[in-house]
Amino acid sequence: MKINIWKIIDWITHMLGYTLVLIIASLIFKKTIYIDTNYYGLWGFLAIIIIFVLNRTVKPILFWLTLPITGLTLGLFYPIINVLILKLTDFILLSHFEIKGIFFVLIVSIFLSIMNWLMDNLIINKLTKGVTK
pLDDT of 34 above 80 = yes
Q: So what's the pLDDT on residue 60? A: 93
CA separation for the pair 113, 79 (Å, rounded)? 7
| pLDDT bucket at 117, cuts 50 / 70 / 90 | confident
In this prediction, residues 59-74 reach a mean pLDDT of 92
CA distances from 63 to 11, 19, 21, 92, 117 (A): 21, 23, 22, 21, 15
> Where do the H-state alpha helices sit in the chain?
5-28, 38-65, 67-72, 78-93, 103-118, 125-127
Bridge partners (DSSP) listed for residue 33: 99
